[in-house]
Structures are given as C-alpha cells and as structure tokens.
Amino acid sequence: MTAYTAPFSVEPIDKPKRVRLSGILAHPTSFPSPYGIGDLGPGAYDFVDFLEKSGQHLWQVLPLGPTGYGYSPYQGPSAFAGQPLLISPDLMIKQNLLTKEDVADMPEWDENKIDYGPAITFKNMLLKKAWTSFLHTPDKTMIEDFEAFCEEQKSWLDDYTLFMACKDAQKGISWLEWEPEFRDPSEKQKKALRAEFAEQIRYYAFLQFLFQEQWDALRTYANEKGIQIIGDIPIFVSPDSADVWSNKKLFQLDEKGYPSKVAGVPPDYFSATGQLWGNPLYDWDYHEETGYKWWINRVRRQLSLTDFLRIDHFRGFEAYWAVPAGEETAVNGQWVKGPCEKLFRAIEKELGEDLPIWAEDLGVITPEVEHLRDSLGFPGMKVLQFGFGDMNDTTYIPFYYTTPNCICYTGTHDNDTTVGWYRTQPDIVQDRIRRLANADGNNVGHDVICFAMGSVAAARQ
C-alpha cells in the first residue's frame, strides 16, 4: 500500500483539484490465470476494476522486462524489452492468433506459485503458434501495426532481436562465450547475421509487438478509470544482455568484454559481507561524452509505458559501490562518485522538467544522496516496516516525516506481509505498534495502513 498526493487531477479538467492518492503494489505475474503465470489478460483487468471500486488511484507494477538468470527481472536480456510471458493467451484468442483448442491441453499448475520451467515451455509453444497464425493472417491492419511498431522502436529493437536470435544460435549460453563473429561482430557481420536469422529476428519483434499492444490497451483501461501506473527501472543491467553486447563502451569492461568491476552494496546491518550483485558498472565518463543518450532513451522508453517511474538504487547515481571482478563478497569494494545531477539535467533537457520519477532511497543514505534527491525534486520512500524498532530513529515513523515529498509504503516487494512481519517482531516492538495504533494488534494490517494514510506523504511541491 502506498500513499501519495498527486501533482495532477483525476477529476474532470474543468475542476482542477489536488487529490491525495493511494494504491497497491502488484506485479502482473501474480494475477489469477489458468496458464501457469499471471498475464495482461482478464486477471489484470479485474485488478484494475478492484482498484477503482476500492477508491485506489495508483498501481505499482515493478519491472515489466524479460527475466534472465534465476528468473530475475534484474538480470534480464534487455532494459528496453517487455516480458513475453505476460502476453495473454485469452487476448491472443480474441485476436484470432490462437484457438481455444490450442490452450486446451495444459499442464497441472501449482495454484500457489509459479513453476517457471513448465510455464515457459507452455507459453513458448503458444507464442510459436500465434506467430504461425500471424504469418498467414488476412488482417492487414495488424500487419501494418506490426511494421509501424518495428520502425518506431528500432533504436533498441534491432539490437535486441539480433541478440536473441544469436543467443538461440549459440544454444542459450552467455554472449561472452559465443564464437567471435557472434560475440563482437562488425557492422558487415551484423548485416550478414540479420539476413541469416531474419525469421527468428522477426519472431522476437512479434513478441514485443504483442506485449506492447496488450500493455497499451491495459494501461489505457487503467487511466480511463483514474488509475495511474508506477513503473520500475533497475539502475543496473545484466552482463548477459543486448544492452552490454551492443554498447560495450558504455560499461567498465576488460578487453574480452568481461566486467572489470561489478556492482553491489557494502556490509551493513543486514549482511556482514554486503551484497555482490555482479552487474557491470557504467563508464560514466563515456556516457557524459555521448550526452547520456542511452539513459535518456531508456527513461523515455519506460515513461512511454507508465505514468510514474521508480528508479531502483537511486543512491548509486551519487556514489556506487565498485567491487573488483573476481571477488567472492562485496567487502573489498569502494565508493566511487556517480554522475549526480548531470545525468538527470540531461534527461530533463530532452524529456522536460518535473520528471515523474520516484527515488528508491533505501540503504546507506548519506547527506549527499539526500541533497541529490531533493535538488531534483524526486520524492523518496518511507517504508513503515523499517520503523518502530528504534524509536530514536524516526526516519520511517509516519508521525515524524519532515517533508510531504515522500512516498509512504506499508512494505515493499522485498518485505514480508504486514501480519508476518508483526508476528516476528520482539514484544517491545509489537507493544509500540499497538500503543501507536490504539489497538489490540488483531488487525495489524489495517492498523499499519492507517499509519500510512494518516501521514503527510506525499504532497509533491
């Protein structure tokens, strides 16, 4: 649950009004679906209807991109592409790309969790059938829309589809282990590869087209009901991605393409050895030389999909934890200065001021990080589950917020449920929560939501 005061109106245009909004965080994969994984079909539309009926105006979706190693959205093959697993078979049936018979023979799914292996196999089978149908479709409008999509998105789509086709040809291994003509192709070799893998390239473009069509329709439906969508952009990208493969100069890599230093966070209260993420770090000097073009394009792309954008690990733009490649933990890293305001001023110059960006400002936050966030006018995050343990630390206790320019969360995707969190707290913390709520703790989920709704978060100044 989030609480937010919008700088826009959800009332009719002739009645401008600053309204206080709240909403819910839920990834589409979690929606009910008969196909093994939630998607952009009926379950998503039902969720939007639920938000409207319950008086909510915000839906935070988390990353919508394809997943990579460990099915993680933070290790995906592209920072620009959409997740093909979210494409709804029900909607493809309505588009005459599938038949009901195509989806009749399904595996036995676990109702409580996603089993990615069988889900991917089944979904890929359906997507291949849809592609075959598209190749023979008499629907000229759909064909024209597909061609227009490919042209509009070619700045990232061309490299992504070629990367995926090459990855298939190399049996799915990391591009760092590909044959030389695939690993580091010249423009002439790229042209030859595009000709050789033309059909597979078109297939991957088709998947992105389907994702875009279904997502745009869902977003329009949500917006028409007064629901604004909050997207999520991970700061780093996967080493095994089209982004790194096609833009090597943008990253700190050695001569063979391997990261020379990798991302992480230092030891803290939660981990004595820190967190070693392994993502390649940006060469910010080179980004500056290019006018931050790649980042501008990335933010432009994400804001074309959502109304707001949460940037993960915001503190990494002020200073990032750089760990030498080959280290087994994040202990032996060091803080290195990031691009700070220069990056965001460049984005503002291209996309306009008052960017609808939220800063994930959790973790080791220094006065310098706070200054960067505040100088840009980005609201930060206040997570209620981080409060109450130490009453002398009032950062996350809603009654002590020093600015309304923040977003109050009961918890995030990294937290336990409110009830689960409460039950694991020491008696003294449970007692504090009961006293502050003037309640007995039997309905603590409701109590903590009231904390969020009773806070000053978040008037955007």
What are the tokens at 76?
Answer: 């995906």
CA 184 from chain centre, in angstroms, equals: 28
User: 231 with 79: CB under 8 angstroms?
Assistant: no
Alpha-carbon Rg for the chain, nearest whole angstrom, is: 23
Alpha-carbon torsion (259, 263, 266, 272), positive or negative: negative
User: 274 with 265: CB under 8 angstroms?
Assistant: yes
What's the N-to-C CA distance of the chain in angstroms?
22
Angle at 430 between CA 429 and CA 435, to 5 degrees: 95
How far, in Å, CA of 146 to CA of 392, rounded?
Answer: 57
User: 242 with 159: CB under 8 angstroms?
Assistant: yes
Angle at 284 between CA 283 and CA 285, to 5 degrees: 95
How far, in Å, CA of 375 to CA of 157, rounded?
Answer: 34
Q: Which of 312, 341, 350, 370 is catalytic?
A: 312
Q: Which of 39, 159, 213, 360 is catalytic?
A: 360
What are the tokens at 327?
Answer: 């280290």
For residue 312, indicate whether it is catalytic. Answer: yes
Three-class DSSP category at 267: coil
Three-class DSSP category at 41: coil
Q: Which bin fits 235, alpha (ψ -120 to 50), beta or left (φ > 0)? A: alpha
What are the tokens at 435?
Answer: 């006293």
Q: Which residue has the tokens 């959502």?
A: 306
Angle at 254 between CA 155 and CA 265, to 5 degrees: 85
**Of residues 427, 382, 372, the one with CA closest to residue 408:** 382
How far, in Å, CA of 13 to CA of 32, rounded?
Answer: 35
Q: Which residue has the tokens 């503002």?
A: 348
User: 313 with 282: CB under 8 angstroms?
Assistant: no
Q: Which of 14, 328, 414, 440 is catalytic?
A: 414
What are the tokens at 383?
Answer: 């997570």
Give the residue numbers marked as catalytic.
312, 360, 414
